[in-house]
Amino acid sequence: MSTQRAEYVWFNGKIVPWNEAKVHVLTHAFNYGTAAFEGIRAYPYGDELFVFRLADHIKRLFESAKIYGFQIGYTHQQIIQACIDVAKTNNFHEKIYIRPLVYVAGVGIGIGFTNQPVGVAIAAVPFESYFPKKGGVDTLVSSWRRIPEQSLPPSAKITGHYANSVLGKMDALTNGYNEAIMLDITGRVSEGTGENIFIVKNGRLVTPTVASGILEGITRRTVMELAYEHGIEVVERDVTRSELYNCDEAFFAGTAAEITPILSIDKRVIGSGSPGQITRKMMDLYSKAVTGQLPGHKDWLTAVYNTVQKQRGKNVQETSLPSID
């Protein structure tokens, strides 16, 4: 998956040119995976660009950092504003992906990071689809298991944790599949390599519980809330591997993946082999929600451009936030 560049990045309190957002090769986070991050989407509609559930993402970013003891030198609202600023300064008016990153910024050798500085970087890039556009994905159940709570906290969105996801993803790609489904350490269904999973059986949505080692996705929460509002029953429970093969429908839910139908699992065709009725319903509701076309959920959206305030275009402006230096 290639990523387009942008002109500017928010880097430790400043908007800087893309090529100036750098860290040393011996930065602790680069060597030991000690960084918390988020993936956030923004969608154009009319003349506006809406960031979806921005406050929820930043809340989770702070919670991930707290689990590991990363001391963020900015408030929630400052990080929220910085996300808006980097999108606005790049003058984006297309679909974008925003990546806030809180990282241990000390330079040197050693696993501990006591008294080391913590940096914050926020990049945003144009971003369309995570998976190939072909109506859905073909998946396998990976032989690699999802990290258990006893080893690493799955509820924290930490860069180092994603080495586990990389193994599952490469397992899928090298065997000709689009994505992998990870089981937890006991053999229960957990999630995809970067998405939560839902199956449909007899008109009900079923999704694994937090005890299955999942990251509690914000898109997952959105799906559950929208389903409830539209009379679709949602059940959180353990899901077995064999249930995957005999479900009526299945789909992934994630910020990057959005709502992606699962067409097959381990070469077993799911349902009719095309997106089912409930999957299509959730795709439609989600598409409307992220662009402000769904009544009752305008609070999920943060507008990047204020029509009263003149747009900054591509003029670089430094924020009033302090640098970590």
**DSSP for 175-214?**
TT-SEEEEE-TTS-EEEESSSEEEEEETTEEEE--GGGT-
Asked if pLDDT for residue 323 goes beyond 80, the answer is no
- The domain defined by 8-128 folds into D-amino Acid Aminotransferase; Chain A, domain 1 (3.30.470)
Q: Is 238 exposed, middle or buried (0-12, 13-18, 19+ CB in 10 A)?
A: middle
For residue 132, the model assigns a pLDDT of: 84
Where does CATH 3.20.10.10 sit in the chain? 137-298
For residue 244, the model assigns a pLDDT of: 98
Distance between CA atoms of residues 61 and 59, nearest Å? 5
Instruction: Give residue-wise pLDDT tens across range 35-62.
Output: 999 999 999 999 999 999 999 999 999 9
| 1 or 92: which leads in pLDDT | 92
Where does CATH 3.30.470.10 sit in the chain? 8-128
Q: How confident is the model at residue 3 (pLDDT cuts 50, 70, 90)?
A: low
Q: Work out the mean pLDDT of the chain and round it to a whole number.
A: 93
User: Active-site residue among 88, 157, 169, 310?
Assistant: 157
- The domain defined by 137-298 folds into D-amino Acid Aminotransferase; Chain A, domain 2 (3.20.10)
Instruction: Give residue-wise pLDDT tens across range 138-188.
Output: 999 999 999 999 999 999 999 999 999 999 999 999 999 999 999 999 999
Q: How confident is the model at residue 134 (pLDDT cuts 50, 70, 90)?
A: confident
Instruction: Give residue-wise pLDDT tens across range 57-77.
Output: 999 999 999 999 999 999 999
* 288 carries an active-site annotation: no
For residue 2, the model assigns a pLDDT of: 52
Q: Tally Cβ neighbours within 10 Å of residue 176.
A: 8
- What predicted TM-score, i.e. pTM, was given to this entire model? 0.92
For residues 202-230, give the mean pLDDT. Answer: 97
Dihedral sign for Cα 170, 171, 174, 179, please: negative
Query: Minimal CA–CA distance to 40: which of 28, 25, 50?
Result: 50
Distance between CA atoms of residues 220 and 235, nearest Å? 12
For residue 314, the model assigns a pLDDT of: 38
